[in-house]
Amino acid sequence: MAARPPPRSCDTFVALPPAAAGGRVVFGKNSDRPSDEVQEVLYVPAASHPAGARLECTYISVEQAERTYAVVLSRPSWLWGAEMGANEHGVCIGNEAVWGREEVCGAEALLGMDLVRLGLERADTAEKALNVIVDLLEKYGQGGNCMESHMAFTYHNSFLIADRKEAWVLETSGKHWAAEKVEGGVRNISNQLSITTKIDREHPEMKEYAKSKGWWDGEKEFDFAATYSYVNTARMTTSRSRYCEGYKLLNKHKGAITSETMMEILRDKESGINMEGGFMTTGSMVSVLPQDPNLPCIHFFTGTPDPARSVFKPFIFVPGITELLKTSSPTFGPDDPVKKQPRFQSKPDRRHELYKKHESAAVVMETMKGKGKEMLEEIQTLEKRKMSEMESILQNGCPDVNQLVNLFSQCVDEELKIYG
């Protein structure tokens, strides 16, 4: 049995009424990745595809859907999939690395991040996204290196999937899985299995497989996390793990959780949720999904590391959005070292314009007290202004949609101006 790697994962959160304020669902995620990895924010419009078309994911190709929805994604720029994102129907997904008793397959298959993007491109509700993911998991499996490096870093995946009405937690171990429906209150996932005895959907062979491995006796109540991992589920919410810290932070604000609350949680360093070091928070996302279908969903992305000194910039799906150029990394086509065999022999510079400017600004914030403090205050003021503009849209509906076409890009420009 391979030694379990140290927890290097992310945190994903959801708050539904009555825990979230104002009849809204609030979703948030920090993506914790190798500290030198660039995360880009990418918009992909809806599209139709010819019958029989194939789709190249990170390592393997799968059959393409006839129709794909518009998506906005935050993704490590070397791969096809995404750490987190949303689609035009208000579906949001984030994934986590999880380890357990089942060996992780090193063979190249679909990455958990590919499954996030596939779920968003193909489903208009949270539960349909779950169906998409488990069907693809059954057909193609999960596996392959999750890091742009010749050092292998592999894991199973868990997912938090939300829409305007409900959320689902989907946790996997190889091809086996369990899912829990969340209809109110708060829920978070981190780098451990967390579904215990409330299992609303499951892989048809999940229990039999556990029995055949001697993990479950078939007598006592079936607990997914206890059976498929080494977690003592009785202690899950009292230990000092990031899962537990996230659970506490959500519960502390229960009944009044807003997008700002979610951003505060993602910025929390003491809990380890805003991660520092060799693995750090390289991108963050918060989404507000009003239950009123006449109001737009608003998605905020940083596109830069460390949410404590980044701007959450708003994005709303409207017709006519153009490519998000300043948060898009350069592409290298067939010459990309990820595409060539053997993979990962070199690492190109994948930094996008916002990343480069933010990188220089972060040095200023760290080393030049006066100027750094001033810069941080300016980006905080910019974010506050955008938040209050978005609150007004959430209360009164959309103004002229033409003003929203460049909403995210304009905010990026304003942020770049601060960085000089």
Q: Known catalytic residues? A: 10
CA 180 to chain centre: 18
Cα 216–220–221 angle (5° rounding)? 100
Selection from 289, 311, 253 nearest residue 394 by Cα: 289
Six-digit token string for 229: 């991992």
Three-state SS letters, 49-95: CCCCCEEECCCCEEECCCEECCEEEEEECCCCCCCEEEECCCCEEEE
Tell me if 60 sits within 8 A of 79, measured CB to CB.
no
Burial 329-361 (b: 16+ CB within 10 A, else e): beeeeeeebbeeeebbeeebebbbebbebbeeb
Three-state SS letters, the chain: CCCCCCCCCCEEEEEECCCEHHHEEEEEEEEEEECCCCEEEEEECCEECCCCCEEECCCCEEECCCEECCEEEEEECCCCCCCEEEECCCCEEEEEEECCCCCCCCCCCECHHHHHHHHHHHCCCHHHHHHHHHHHHHHHCECCCCCCCCCCCCCEEEEEEECCCCEEEEEEECCEEEEEEECCEEEEEECECCCCCCCCEECCCHHHHHHHCCCCCCCCCCCHHHHHCCCCHHHCCCCCCHHHHHHHHHHHCCCCECHHHHHHHHCCCCCCCCCCCCEEEEEEEEEEEECCCCCCCEEEECCCCCHHHCCCEEECCCCCCCCCHHHCCCCCHHHCCCCCCCCCCCCCCCCCHHHHHHHHHHHHHHHCHHHHHHHHHHHHHHHHHHHHHHHHHHHHCCCCHHHHCCHHHHHHHHHHHHHC
